[in-house]
Structure 1
């Protein structure tokens, strides 16, 4: 995997949904991270629910996490609800943390 993508993912693990004590990556909200030849990052993400009240905060935090990687020029965050998020998308650690076992 591209080192820049690894660095972005590491930063995304520091972004938390204010309502849930688990980071957005382990929650399974990040569907894809890509960086092109010009160092532009593209992130596809979802939310736990379409009416999430903190959508703007989460998108800003995800954008800043990717932008803070050295060399990244621009960040585009695409919000999708296909496929819809469900608990099975969480990492094992997140499910343990939230008691979903």
Structure 2
């Protein structure tokens, strides 16, 4: 039996390290999850390395949208979900750890 994590370890560890750092550094990584979702996490603003852009691409995304996936993303990720995705990606999320409220340890 294969036990799969409920979250992407690369994404979790990269975000944890980035958020915990006293000095943000440039970041640009692309990685794939076990289910074929491709992620692109980077710092798009050369003047502000705290701001992150996370984009996702998934082969079946257009089918999921037919069943309300975009509405689900909007409901779950609200202010972080960009109106338009980064070129070549299906959905993009803007993240600035300085503006995230709530449990800083999550």
What is the TM-score of this pair, normalised by structure 1?
0.32
What is the TM-score of this pair, normalised by structure 2?
0.31
